[in-house]
Amino acid sequence: MLSQEQIEEIKGHLERAQNPIFLFDNDCDGLISFILLRRFIDRGKGVAIKSFPELDESYLRRVEEFGSDYIFVLDKPQISKEFIEEARKKSIPIVWIDHHDVNPGLEGVSNVSYYNPIYSKEKSSEPTSFLAYSIAGVKKDNWLAMIGCVADNFLPDFSEEVIKEHKELFSKHPKSAFDILYESEFGKLVSMLSFGLKDRTSNVVAMINLLFKINSPSEILTEDEKNFKIRKRYESVNSVYQKLLDKAKRVARASKKVVFFQYGGELSMSADIANEISYRFPGKVVIVAYLKGSIANVSIRGKSVRNATLRVVEAIEGSRGGGHEHATGAKVSVEDLDKLRKIFEDEFED
Ligand SMILES: [Mn+2]
C-alpha cells in the first residue's frame, strides 16, 4: 500500500498540474489508471506508451506538442535516462506511479517523484489502477478501477461492493480475478477495453473520450452508436484471439511443464494469450512469444518466473526483461528464442 502521506503528495501534484500529460502503459491497468486520475482532475492529455520495455525519449515530442507542465507516468516499469534528463532541462516535474518490482534507477535524479508499493514498509504490488483509485477516492468509479485490477489478475478489497452493485455481470462466487476475467460478462468488459487499445490511434482516442464520461458498464456492454466501434473492434480482435488461443491450448496439452508458443501477424496479444493459457493450465509455466521482424516480445506466466527471466537478461546479449514474481515480459531477438526457452526448461523441467 502507498501511505496516506504519499497519497496526499500525489494529490498535491495533481492539483498543481494545470495541463498534465499522462503517459500510461498500453494495457488495461495503465489505461484505467489514467482514466481514474483524469476523471478526478478533469484536465490533461493521455497517451499510451508503445515503446518497450522503457518509456523512451520519443514521447518528449508529445509533451512539447501539448505544452504540458507536468508529466505523470503510470504503470510503466522503466523510463529512459534521456527522457528524464530532457524533462529536467525543461523544468517539467515527473510523477511516476508504478507497481512493478524493479529498481527505477533514480540515483542522483531530482525531478522525479517515484511511488511504488513494492518499496512500502509493508511491501505489496497492487495494480496501478488500484493506486489511482486510492488517490482519486471517487467511489462511483469503483467498477472502472475493478476493470484495471481484474486485468492485472488482482481482486481488490472493494470487489464485493462492485459485485453487489452489478450482480448481473458476475457469475456466482468468483474465487479469483481471472475467474471474473474468463467466466463472466464483466470479464468481457475488460477484454473489450484491452482489445480496444490495440485499435488505430483515432479509435483509441474515441474510446478514451467515452471513458471520460461514462457512468456504468452498460454504456459499453449495451449496443448503441457511441460504443459501436469498441464492440466492432472487440469482435474482430476476439476472432483472431480465439484462433490463436486454440492453437496455444493444443501446444499446452502436448507440453510437459513449460508451454512454449510463438506466433506472428499484426496483433500483439502475447500477454492476453499467456494469461489465459496460464489460467486454463494451472501449474504450467507459459511462454508466449510474439514475433515481429527480427524481434520477439515474450510474455511469461507461472509460479516464480521472475528469476529465470532475469537470468535470460543476463545470459542473452541485447535482451531486456523483468516484471512481477509470477508474470514477466522479455524482449529478445528471434534467433535467441531457443536460448530463452532452454533457460526456462532447465529451471522448471528435469
Ligand atoms: Mn499493471
What spacing in Å lies between the alpha carbon of 29 and ligand 1's midpoint? 5
What spacing in Å lies between the alpha carbon of 205 and ligand 1's midpoint? 20
What spacing in Å lies between the alpha carbon of 24 and ligand 1's midpoint? 10
Indicate the CATH number of 255-348 among 3.10.310.40, 3.30.70.890, 3.50.50.60, 3.40.50.720: 3.10.310.40
- For the chain, first and last CA: distance in Å? 38
Residue-level pLDDT at 350: 78
What spacing in Å lies between the alpha carbon of 6 and ligand 1's midpoint? 19
What spacing in Å lies between the alpha carbon of 60 and ligand 1's midpoint? 22
What spacing in Å lies between the alpha carbon of 153 and ligand 1's midpoint? 9
Q: Using one digit for the tens of pLDDT, what is the confidence trace for 183-221?
A: 999 999 999 999 999 999 999 999 999 999 999 999 999
Between 179 and 101, the more confident residue is: 179
Q: Catalogue the long-range contacts made by 299-304 (C-beta closer than 8 Å, 24 or more residues apart).
A: 299/270, 299/271, 299/273, 299/274, 299/275, 299/327, 299/328, 299/329, 300/274, 300/327, 300/328, 300/329, 300/330, 300/344, 301/274, 301/275, 301/277, 301/326, 301/327, 302/278, 302/326, 302/348
**What's the rounded Cα separation, in Å, for the pair 186 and 349?**
36
What spacing in Å lies between the alpha carbon of 149 and ligand 1's midpoint? 8
Residue whose C-alpha cell reads 532452454 in the numeric block: 342
Q: Using one digit for the tens of pLDDT, what is the confidence trace for 272-298?
A: 999 999 999 999 999 999 999 999 999
Q: Cell numbers of 243, please?
A: 484462433
Question: 4-228 has which fold?
Answer: inorganic pyrophosphatase (n-terminal core) (3.90.1640)
What spacing in Å lies between the alpha carbon of 75 and ligand 1's midpoint? 5
For range 27-40, the mean pLDDT = 98
pLDDT surpassing 90 at residue 172: no
Q: Using one digit for the tens of pLDDT, what is the confidence trace for 119-164?
A: 999 999 999 999 999 999 999 999 999 999 999 999 999 999 999 9
What spacing in Å lies between the alpha carbon of 350 and ligand 1's midpoint? 32
- Domain regions of the chain by residue span: 4-228, 255-348
What spacing in Å lies between the alpha carbon of 76 and ligand 1's midpoint? 8
What spacing in Å lies between the alpha carbon of 25 and ligand 1's midpoint? 8
